[in-house]
Amino acid sequence: MENFFSILGGMGTLATESFVRILNRRTQTHKDQDYLNYVLFNHATVPDRTAYILDNTLENPVPYLMDDIEKQNLLKPNFIVLTCNTAHYFFDDLQAATEIEILHMPREAAKVVFEKGVTGKVAFLGTEGSVKAGIYEKELRQLGLDVYLPEPAIQKKVNTLIYDRIKENDHLDQGLYFEILEEVTERIGCESVVLGCTELSLMDEFVTDNPYPVVDAQSILVDRTIEKALADRQAI
C-alpha cells in the first residue's frame, strides 16, 4: 500500500474506534476506492499516561510509544495521527524520533477556538494528566486565550465520567456530562469548552441535542486528517 497515513491509537480502544468511525463517516465517498488508506496501531497495552504524569515512579509509556514510532518509520506513512490527548505530553520526544510529521491535536483545537473569535474564558476538560501537563493550556494561552482549568470538585466529576463511566463500564453518562458542561459554562461563565480527552469526544459523539459551546479536539483532528490525506492523494 502506498500513499497512506498511520493512526497511533488504542489509548483507549473505544475512543480510537470512535475516531476511525467518524473518519470513515466524514470522508466523502461514492465507492470503496474513495475511502482513505491508513494503518491502525491499536496499542491497548500502553501504560496509563495520566498515571505516569502524576507519578513518575509508575511504568513509563514512552518506550511503548517509541517502539510504535520505530515500526511506523519502517512503514513510512505520509503522516502519523496520535489520537490520545494525554500522550501529547510526550509529543516532542515522539516527533524527534521520526522525520514523519505527527499531527498535533491540541494545537489544531486551539487554532479553531481562536478562529471562532472567542474572547471570554475557555474551559479545558481532560484527564488530570493533561491538566497537569498543561498541553492544551500552553497552546490556548499562546494564542492569547484566557484558560479555565477545573477546580477539584469539577475535575473529580470529569475523572468519574472518563474512568468510572466510560473506560471501566462502557457507559456514556449524558446526565453527568451535561452537569459538568453546565457548571463550567453557566456557573463559571466560560464562553467555550475544549474537550481534550478522547473519552469525552466519544461521549460527545453520541450525545443528543448538546446545547453547550463545546470544541471537540478529536473531531477537529478528524477534519485535519481528511484534509491532509486528500491533499496527499491529489498530489500524486
197 is an active site residue = yes
Whether residue 190 lies in the annotated active site? no
Q: Which of 197, 200, 217, 222 is catalytic?
A: 197
Cα–Cα separations (whole angstroms), residue 49 to 29, 76, 84, 127, 204: 36, 26, 9, 9, 22
- Choosing from 46, 80, 81, 84, which is the catalytic residue? 84
Q: Any residues with CB less than 8 A from the CB of 79 and at least 6 apart, and which?
A: 5, 6, 100, 101, 102, 103, 228, 232
Find where cell 479545558 sits.
124
List the 38-42 sheet strands across, edge first. 38-42, 5-9, 79-82, 101-103
Active site residues: 84, 197
